[in-house]
Chains A and B, each alone.
Chain A
Amino acid sequence: MKRVARVLAFAQTAYFVAVAQTATAQVDEAPSVLVESPPPADYNAKLLLTNGISTIGGASGGGISDWATIAGRQSDRGIGVQLHVSGAVLPDYLWQSHGIAVGIADRVELSYARQNFDTQDVGAALGIGQGYVLNQDVWGAKLRVAGDTVYGSPLLPQIAVGVQYKRSLDGGVAAAVGAAHDEGVDFVVSATKLFLARSILLDATARMTKANQNGLLGFGSVGNDDYSVQFEGALAYQFSRRFVMGAEYRSKPDNLGLGEDDWIDIFAAWGATDNITVTAAYADLGSIATFEGQRGVFAQAQLAF
């Protein structure tokens, strides 16, 4: 009891001393020469556009190619968020995807995307139903292991490794076309660098995958269930801080023997504000499920913090 009283007495004295000191400090305070206003709440820690353009798989990249960039507008001590909605109109199909990516300390990226692929008349022709929609979930994790997209030696690009778990929600269709699995894991290595002296951004990415049409038609096939290494890359030119145009390429395996083609696109991306990026592209997706010449317009809106 005595001990408690003693502690209380001490606390009270300490409090009075503190109050007295504060009062003195207020009186004596000279006009501060330090800057008082803290950074604004909407502090964009990254340079414009360096959070990339969310890919159809949800990771930060260039639209169809994954890059080593980390999503979101935060840097080494923040957690950034990047949301996107994409759509593409093709001769025989409609594509829609949306997703979220979280960038932690510009080091780790966790992403999710939902892909919806409307088969329209093809669905009826293939006997799965008019306007049948193939759906897929993609969960991704990416780690930046070295380098920086903008700073440091021009010879050291930003390098990242990633894994993506893809799950087709239409296993029946995948099995019917001969796929071995309705889920699969991709392993991705990317290197990205902005060569400021030329205003050119280059990306080169290798992907180990079994995915058929990105996974929408399942993974592997009964006859060929091996991983293959595929290449994807981008070349972009920076016209201004806010405007970039470029081209992308993404190779794909043809496990199902349906004549699956590589993808290419040309794109224009505009950083409308610090937080909004709008992208339009003309994409050539080649043959999809034997329906050839799938070329069309792709558009995306992205919001990042």
Chain B
Amino acid sequence: MFELALTFLMMQQAPAENTDWDEAFGVEEAVRDPQTGELPVDPYDVDNANAGAKPFSGSSIAADFGGKDGIRQIADRFVDLNISDPRVAAIFAGHDHVRLRRTLYEQFCYILNAGCEYTGRDMATAHQGLGTRKPDLNAIVENLQKAMREADVSFVAQNRFLAKLAPMYGDVVTR
């Protein structure tokens, strides 16, 4: 019985060398937007509420983070640290880093009340299927702390910002 099955298995002809597997399985290649350089995502409702936290009132916290320029630098550095951190890099490996940099900047800038609108997806959707665990989130928090520390954000201001992010735990950690 076993030999029979195996024989049939091995008698199969190998597929041609130049088979276009994407075409054979109907896989469409994602094309980056020529303007933004971002990969397309499924449509969703754009809403500042997707940022997952109420923004600060007043402009002092935005100043603590160095305004829009400082926030962009911190968001960029934060992404750099995560994608090169062996603890969590795998989570970011399949991500559109161009879009991630933009939406993270917008989210930070919106929450810190530095004058941005958040146009990204909500936290639950954005983190769906990433399989993030609590130790991963801790590593990511450490990276954000490092990015803020390097930008000379005071520890008090760092914690005030983290307090806005901490309640998102349930949407971010999925296993």
Q: Do A and B bind each other?
A: yes
Bound-state Cα–Cα, A196 to B141, Å: 13
Bound-state Cα–Cα, A6 to B3, Å: 8
Collect the chain A residues with CB atoms within 8 Å of residue B133's CB. 75-77
Interface residues on A, range: 35 or more
B163 near A: Cβ within 8 Å?
Answer: yes
Q: State how many residues of chain B have any CB contact under 8 Å with chain A.
A: 28
CB distance from B169 to the nearest CB of A (A): 4
Bound-state Cα–Cα, A38 to B142, Å: 18
Which secondary structure characterizes the binding site on chain A?
loop
A197 near B: Cβ within 8 Å?
Answer: yes
Collect the chain A residues with CB atoms within 8 Å of residue B3's CB. 6, 9-10, 13
Q: Given A151-B166, A199-B156, are A35 and B86 neighbors across the interface (CB < 8 Å)?
A: yes
Chain B residue nearest to A33 in the complex (CB): B93
Name the segment of A41-49, A111-119, A226-234, A293-301 touching the other chain. Answer: A41-49
Contact with A along B4-42 (1 / 0, CB 8 A): 001000100000000000000000000000000000000
Further pairs besides A6-B2, A75-B134, A151-B167: 13, Cβ < 8 Å = A10-B3, A34-B93, A46-B138, A76-B135, A151-B173, A154-B166, A196-B160, A196-B162, A196-B166, A198-B159, A199-B155, A238-B155, A239-B155
Collect the chain A residues with CB atoms within 8 Å of residue B43's CB. none
Bound-state Cα–Cα, A148 to B155, Å: 21
Bound-state Cα–Cα, A10 to B93, Å: 40
CB distance from A183 to the nearest CB of B (A): 38
Bound-state Cα–Cα, A152 to B165, Å: 9
A-B contact count (CB 8 A): 79
Contact with B along A237-260 (1 / 0, CB 8 A): 011110000000000000000000
Collect the chain B residues with CB atoms within 8 Å of residue A35's CB. 86, 89-90, 93
With beta carbons under 8 angstroms apart, the residue of B86, B135, B159, B170 that contacts A38 is B86
In A118-133, the 8 Å CB interface with B consists of none
With beta carbons under 8 angstroms apart, the residue of A10, A75, A106, A197 that contacts B159 is A197
Bound-state Cα–Cα, A120 to B3, Å: 85
B54 near A: Cβ within 8 Å?
Answer: no
A31 near B: Cβ within 8 Å?
Answer: no
B87 near A: Cβ within 8 Å?
Answer: yes
CB distance from A152 to the nearest CB of B (A): 5
Interface core residue of B86, B89, B134 (most chain A CB under 10 Å): B134
With beta carbons under 8 angstroms apart, the residue of B10, B87, B162, B167 that contacts A39 is B87
B145 near A: Cβ within 8 Å?
Answer: yes
Q: List 29 A-B contacts (CB under 8 A).
A: A9-B3, A17-B6, A17-B10, A34-B90, A35-B86, A35-B93, A37-B86, A40-B86, A40-B87, A43-B87, A47-B138, A47-B142, A75-B133, A76-B133, A76-B134, A151-B134, A151-B166, A151-B169, A152-B170, A154-B166, A154-B167, A196-B162, A196-B166, A197-B160, A197-B163, A198-B159, A199-B159, A238-B159, A239-B155
